Chains A and B, each alone.
Chain A
Amino acid sequence: MNTVKESKPDRIELLQGTLDMMILRTLQWGPQHGHGIGQAIRASSLDALQIEHGSLYPALHRLRKQGWIEAEWKITENKQRARYYRLTERGRKQLSAEESRWNRMVEAIARVMKPASSS
C-alpha cells in the first residue's frame, strides 16, 4: 500500500508485528474492547506511541483469525454493546515467544548502540 502518510516527528512508527505483540500483551490483563486496548497502549507508552486507532482493527481481526485471541459481544459499564477480545491459550504461548524474541532483539540492539554499558 503506497499510502501517502504525514509522519510527525514525535511519533514512533511501529515495526510490523510490534502492534500485534502489544495487543496480546495488553490483553494479558483481561478482556478488553478495541478502544480500551488503544487507550492502554497509549497510556503505558506515556503517549509516545500514538498509534492510529483505526490500525488496531485490522490487527485485531488478523489475530482473531490466527486463533490467538477470541471475540465476544458484552455490555460495558455504560450499558453499551461492545466487542471484547480475550487472549486464548495459543495467544498466551505466542505472546511469551514474542516477548523472548523481543528481549533478545532489544539486548542485541542495545549492545550495538551502547557498547560500553554492556561490558
Chain B
Amino acid sequence: MPCWKQIAERYLPWILWRGHEERELDEEIRFHLQQEQNLRVERGEAPTAARQAAHRDFGNVRRVKEVTREMWSWTTFESILRDGRYAFRQLRRAPGFSAVAIATLALGIGANSAIFSVVDAVLLKPLPYPEAERLVTIHEALPEASYLNASWPDFLDWRAQNRAFDDIAVFQPNTVKVRENGEPVMAPAAFVSASLFTVLGTKPALGRLLSAEDDRAGAPPVVVVGNSFWRKALKSDPDLSGKTIEIGGDDVTVAGVLAPEFRLPQVEADVYLPIGRMMSGSESFTDRGNHPGLIAVARLRPGVTLDRARADMNTIMSRLALAYPASNRHETVKLALLPDVLLGPIRPELLMLLGAAALVLLLACANVAHLAMARATTRQREFAIRGSLGAGRGRLIRQLLTESTLLSLGGGGIGVLLARWTVGPLVRLSPYQAPGLADAHVDSRVLLFTFLASLTAALLFGFAPIVQAAYSRLNLSLREGEMGRAGRRLRSALFVAEVAIALVLATGAGLLLRSVSALLHVDPGFHADHLTALGVVRNGGPADRNLQYFTDAVDRVAHQPGVSASAAVMCPPLSGTCWTSPYWGQGQSATGNGQLPWTALNMITPGYFATIDTPLMAGRAFMDGDTAGSRPVAIVNQTMASHLATAGNAVGKLLHVQYSAHELLEVVGVVPDIKQFGVGVPVMPEVYVPVAQMPVNFMTVVVRSTGASGVAARQAALAMRSVDKEQPIAQVTALSEAILQSAGRQRFAALLLSLFGFVALSLAAVGVSGMMAYTVTRRTRELGIRIALGARRSEVLSLVLRQGVRLVLYGVLTGLSLAWMLTKLVRNLLYGVQPHDISTFAAATLLLAICALAACILPAWRAAHVDPIEALRHE
C-alpha cells in the first residue's frame, strides 16, 4: 500500500532521531547520577549509600524520562506505538475475551465491507462513460402508454432539429446468428446508430468505430465487436485488416474492437451493427406510429440543463404533432438522466442493505462494549496501580482506546477476508443489472472504508469502559468489583439497544420473507414445473419458411421421448418481451391514437395453452385450420375479456388491434390471465393470434417434459437441430427458474436481511445473556444475604427475571417504534404485505421476546441457586 510508504518516509527520520535523543537523555541522566554520587562520596559517604541517595534525590528515573519525552513535541506517534505494544500484551493475556470480541467485530465489519464493495462498485464509482452526468435517455409516451421506445422517423427528426444535444443515438437489442469457429451460434447483438459511440464517449481498443457512411442503406457491411467476443471468436488477433465474420449468412468486415470495460446501458451485446444500414428500408422503421424497441440516448451540450432539453424536445414534438397528427397528435417525450435511470431503482435498495449491515455492526459494538466494561471492572486494580505509578487519567483513557482500536482492527482484518469471500456470491445472487456490478471486489477503497468502519467501531465500544470508569474513580479505587451507577445505566442502555436493533432487523426480514412467499404463491396462469423455453431467432428469410421451421420444430420436439407437449410462442410467460398495440372493441369508438387503451400482442402455435397447462375459460383453442387464408381469430385473456364484455361472454366479439397483421379479429376463446412481465407485475390486457396469421421470425419453443427439464431441453435442442442444423438456439430457460428470478429483488433483500437478522438475534441473545449473567455475578453477595435472610428461591428468581423482563420490554418498545419508521424504506420491495403489517410485527416481537427471555432464564436460575455461604465467602 502506498500510504505505508508515506508514513515510513514521514516518520522514519523522526524515529531515528528519536533513538538518538533518547540515548542522549539516558546519558545526561546517567551523568547526573554519577556526578551526584561522586559529590557525596567526596563528602565522605559510602559509595553504595551515595548511589542510593543520588537516586532518591533524583526521583523516579523512568517517570522523569517519560515526562521529559512528553516535552518533545513529536511524541504522539511513538507513544501510540508504545501503547499499541502494551495493549497487545494486555489482549494476549485475555485470549478468550480478545477472540470473542474480534470474532464479533469481524462479523459486523465483514458484513459492512461486503455490502460496501457492491455499493461502491455500483453507486459510488462513476459510470463507464465520460461525463455521464450529461447523458440523457429519451422515450416516448402516450396518455394510455407511459413508456414507448422511440420511433425511427421521430428519432431522425429529433436528431435534425434539436438544439440541446451534442448528438442523439439509438440502439436496439437484438440477436444474430454468427458463425464462431465454424459453429453457428446466436450472439447477443445491438443494432446501433453510428452516433452511439460518440454520444457515449467510447474509444475503440483496436481499429475504428462506426461512421455515418457505414450507417447508410447500401453501405458495405461492417461490424464492431465487443472485447470478449474478439478474444473468443477472433482469438485476440490484433491484426484486423481483411478480417470478416459471418453474420446471418453474410461475411461482414470487422471494423474495430471495443475496450474490455465498455458496456451498453442495460444491454449485453457481442456485436454492434449499424442500424441505418440494416433497417432503414424496413416497414417497421418507416412507419412513424411504430416503436420498434429503439432505446434513445443523447448527450447534453455543455451547460444545457435537463429542463432546457425537455423544453427543446417538447417544441419539436408539438411540431411533429402538427405535421403527423395520425401518429403523433398525443405523443410526448420523457427525458431522464442516464445515471438516474440506471441506478435510481437500485440506490434505495442497496443503501437499505448497507444500513442493515450498519445495524449489525452497531449490535456487535454493543456486545463488545459490554464485554470490555466487564473486563474493565475486573481490571480496576491494574488501573489503580498504573495510576499511582504516575499514569494520568488521559493516559489510561488512551490506553483503553488503544486496546479497543487494536481489537477493532483485528476484527476489521478478518472482516475484510470475510468480505473477499462473500463479494463473489453476493454479486452472483444479486438481481441488479448495473454497470460496474460485475467488477465489485475488495479494493483499496473498500480497505479504506473497512479501516474507517473499524475506527468508528473502536470509538463506539471503546468509550463504554471509559464512561463506566470515569464514575467509579478510575485511578484511586483499589477495590475490585466496583460498578458505578453510570456503568449500570450504560449496561441497561446497551441491553435495550441490542433488543431494539435485533427487532428492527427481524421485522424487516419478516416483511421481505412474506413478500417472497406472496410472490411465489401468485398464480402465474400456467404450470411452470417441467416447462422449458428455448428461444430461437431466425435471421431473415421468407416468412413462410420461418413459419414452416417453427411448425416442424414443435412437431419434432413433441415426439421426443420424455416430452409430453410442445408449442411455440412469440412472447413466453415472464419474459416481458411482448409487443403492445392500441385496441378498441366492437362498437367502442376509435377516438384517435392517444385515447386508446393498449394491449399486449402475442403470437402462438395451436398447442400453446395445452403445453403450458392453461385451461380455456370459454370458446376454443387455435387449430391447424386457423391459417393465413382463414378468418382472422384471437384468443384474449380474462382482463381483456372483461374490457370487451362487461357482462356475459367475450367469445364472438370483434376486436380491432392496430398493429396486428389483420386489424379486425374475432374472439374465439378466453384464457386466464398469464403473468408476462413478472409474477409481481399486474397483468395487462393480452391478445393471442395464431402465428400462421401473423408470422414472426423469432419465437420460443416451450417444452413440457415428464422427467427432468434439463434432459428434455437437451433432447429438444437436438430435435430442433435436426430440422435445421444451421439454426442455433439463443437461450434456454427453465420457467420455474424464471418465476424465482422475477422475485429476485425480494429474494436478494430477504436473504440478506434474514442473514443479518439471524446474526443480530444471535448476538443479542449472547449479549443479553452475558449482561444478565454479569449482573447476577455482581449481585452474588446481595442475593446470598437475601437467601440467608429467608428469601425463597422463587422470589430471587423473579427478582432477577423482573429486571430482565423490564429491559426486554423497553427494548421491544424502542425496536417497534424504530421498525415502524424504518420499514417504510422497504415499501417498494414489499409485495402482498404492508410496511406496517401487524402480524409480521407481532411475530418478530414474539420471536425476539422469546429469545431474549430465554437468554435471561439461565442467569436468573443461577441466581436463585446461589449458595448463601459461598456467596458470603465470595468477597
Give me the interface of A with B, judged by CB distance under 8 Å.
1-4, 33-35, 38-39, 52-55, 57-58, 61-62, 65, 73, 78, 80-83
- For B27, B61, B393, B476, the residue with the greatest tally of chain A CB atoms inside 10 Å of its CB is B27
Cα-based distance from A52 to B393 in the complex (angstroms):
23
Name the B residues within 8 Å of A82 (CB-CB). Answer: 28, 31, 35
Query: Is B63 an interface residue when CB atoms closer than 8 A count as contact?
Result: yes
User: Nearest chain-B residue to A33 (Cβ)?
Assistant: B31
Contact A54 B61 (CB under 8 A): yes
Q: Nearest 4 A-B pairs (CB), nearest first?
A: A54-B59, A54-B64, A61-B71, A35-B35
Name the A residues within 8 Å of B24 (CB-CB). Answer: 73, 83
Query: Is B392 an interface residue when CB atoms closer than 8 A count as contact?
Result: yes
Name the B residues within 8 Å of A57 (CB-CB). Answer: 25, 28-29, 64, 67-68
Closest approach, in angstroms, between the C-beta of B5 and any C-beta of chain A?
A: 30
Name the B residues within 8 Å of A53 (CB-CB). Answer: 32, 36, 57-59
Closest approach, in angstroms, between the C-beta of B388 and any C-beta of chain A?
A: 6
Question: CB within 8 Å of A: which of B138-197?
Answer: none
Cα-based distance from A3 to B391 in the complex (angstroms):
8
Contact A35 B71 (CB under 8 A): no
Cα-based distance from A4 to B392 in the complex (angstroms):
11
Contact A1 B390 (CB under 8 A): yes
Question: CB within 8 Å of A: which of B391-413?
Answer: 392-393
Closest approach, in angstroms, between the C-beta of B386 and any C-beta of chain A?
A: 11
Query: Is B211 an interface residue when CB atoms closer than 8 A count as contact?
Result: no
Closest approach, in angstroms, between the C-beta of A74 and any C-beta of chain B?
A: 11
Contact B72 A65 (CB under 8 A): yes
Name the A residues within 8 Å of B70 (CB-CB). Answer: 58
Name the B residues within 8 Å of A73 (CB-CB). Answer: 24
Contact B64 A61 (CB under 8 A): no
Query: Is B387 an interface residue when CB atoms closer than 8 A count as contact?
Result: yes
- For B25, B36, B70, B71, the residue with the greatest tally of chain A CB atoms inside 10 Å of its CB is B71
Known: A54-B63, A58-B68, A80-B31. 11 other contacts (CB 8 A): A3-B388, A33-B31, A35-B32, A39-B39, A52-B59, A55-B59, A57-B28, A61-B72, A62-B71, A65-B73, A80-B34
Interface string of B605-641 (1 = CB under 8 A from A): 0000000000000000000000000000000000000
Query: Is B709 an interface residue when CB atoms closer than 8 A count as contact?
Result: no
Of A3, A4, A52, A81, which contacts B27 at CB under 8 A? A81
Closest approach, in angstroms, between the C-beta of A50 and any C-beta of chain B?
A: 8
Query: Is B780 an interface residue when CB atoms closer than 8 A count as contact?
Result: no
Closest approach, in angstroms, between the C-beta of B194 and any C-beta of chain A?
A: 71
Of A3, A4, A61, A81, which contacts B68 at CB under 8 A? A61
Question: CB within 8 Å of A: which of B1-44?
Answer: 24-25, 27-29, 31-32, 34-36, 38-39
Cα-based distance from A39 to B32 in the complex (angstroms):
11
Query: Is B475 an interface residue when CB atoms closer than 8 A count as contact?
Result: yes
Interface string of B378-389 (1 = CB under 8 A from A): 000000000110
Closest approach, in angstroms, between the C-beta of B65 and any C-beta of chain A?
A: 8
Contact A34 B58 (CB under 8 A): no
User: Nearest chain-B residue to A39 (Cβ)?
Assistant: B39
Name the B residues within 8 Å of A61 (CB-CB). Answer: 68, 71-72
Give me the interface of B with A, judged by CB distance under 8 Å.
24-25, 27-29, 31-32, 34-36, 38-39, 57-61, 63-64, 67-68, 70-73, 387-388, 390, 392-393, 475-476
Cα-based distance from A5 to B392 in the complex (angstroms):
14
Name the A residues within 8 Å of B60 (CB-CB). Answer: 54
Cα-based distance from A83 to B29 in the complex (angstroms):
10
Name the A residues within 8 Å of B25 (CB-CB). Answer: 57
User: Nearest chain-A residue to B60 (Cβ)?
Assistant: A54
Name the B residues within 8 Å of A83 (CB-CB). Answer: 24, 27-28, 31
Cα-based distance from A75 to B390 in the complex (angstroms):
34
Contact A35 B36 (CB under 8 A): yes
Closest approach, in angstroms, between the C-beta of A38 and any C-beta of chain B?
A: 8
Closest approach, in angstroms, between the C-beta of B844 and any C-beta of chain A?
A: 50
Name the B residues within 8 Å of A33 (CB-CB). Answer: 28, 31-32, 35
User: Nearest chain-A residue to B393 (Cβ)?
Assistant: A2
Closest approach, in angstroms, between the C-beta of B426 and any C-beta of chain A?
A: 52
Cα-based distance from A113 to B67 in the complex (angstroms):
36
Contact B387 A2 (CB under 8 A): yes
Name the A residues within 8 Å of B475 (CB-CB). Answer: 2
Name the B residues within 8 Å of A55 (CB-CB). Answer: 59, 64
Name the A residues within 8 Å of B32 (CB-CB). Answer: 33-35, 38, 53
Name the A residues within 8 Å of B61 (CB-CB). Answer: 54
User: Nearest chain-A residue to B34 (Cβ)?
Assistant: A80
Name the A residues within 8 Å of B388 (CB-CB). Answer: 3-4
Contact A81 B64 (CB under 8 A): no
Query: What are 21 A-B pairs with beta-carbon distances under 8 A?
Result: A1-B392, A3-B63, A3-B388, A4-B388, A34-B28, A35-B32, A35-B36, A38-B32, A52-B59, A53-B32, A53-B57, A53-B58, A53-B59, A54-B60, A54-B61, A54-B63, A57-B25, A61-B71, A82-B31, A83-B27, A83-B28
Name the A residues within 8 Å of B72 (CB-CB). Answer: 61, 65
User: Nearest chain-B residue to A53 (Cβ)?
Assistant: B58
Closest approach, in angstroms, between the C-beta of B23 and any C-beta of chain A?
A: 12
Closest approach, in angstroms, between the C-beta of B723 and any C-beta of chain A?
A: 93
User: Nearest chain-A residue to B388 (Cβ)?
Assistant: A4
Name the B residues within 8 Å of A4 (CB-CB). Answer: 388
Known: A1-B390, A62-B71, A65-B72. A54 touches B27 (CB 8 A): no
Cα-based distance from A80 to B38 in the complex (angstroms):
13
Contact B390 A35 (CB under 8 A): no
Name the A residues within 8 Å of B71 (CB-CB). Answer: 58, 61-62, 65
Closest approach, in angstroms, between the C-beta of A96 and any C-beta of chain B?
A: 24
Contact A58 B64 (CB under 8 A): yes
Cα-based distance from A3 to B390 in the complex (angstroms):
5
User: Nearest chain-B residue to A83 (Cβ)?
Assistant: B28
Cα-based distance from A38 to B33 in the complex (angstroms):
12
Closest approach, in angstroms, between the C-beta of B559 and any C-beta of chain A?
A: 95
Cα-based distance from A38 to B38 in the complex (angstroms):
15
Known: A54-B63, A61-B72. A35 touches B31 (CB 8 A): yes
Contact B387 A81 (CB under 8 A): no
Name the B residues within 8 Å of A62 (CB-CB). Answer: 71
Of B31, B34, B58, B392, which contacts A54 at CB under 8 A? B58
Name the B residues within 8 Å of A52 (CB-CB). Answer: 57-59
User: Nearest chain-B residue to A65 (Cβ)?
Assistant: B71
- For A39, A54, A61, the residue with the greatest tally of chain B CB atoms inside 10 Å of its CB is A54
Name the A residues within 8 Å of B39 (CB-CB). Answer: 39
- For B28, B31, B390, the residue with the greatest tally of chain A CB atoms inside 10 Å of its CB is B28
User: Nearest chain-B residue to A78 (Cβ)?
Assistant: B38
- For B57, B73, B476, the residue with the greatest tally of chain A CB atoms inside 10 Å of its CB is B57
Closest approach, in angstroms, between the C-beta of A93 and any C-beta of chain B?
A: 21
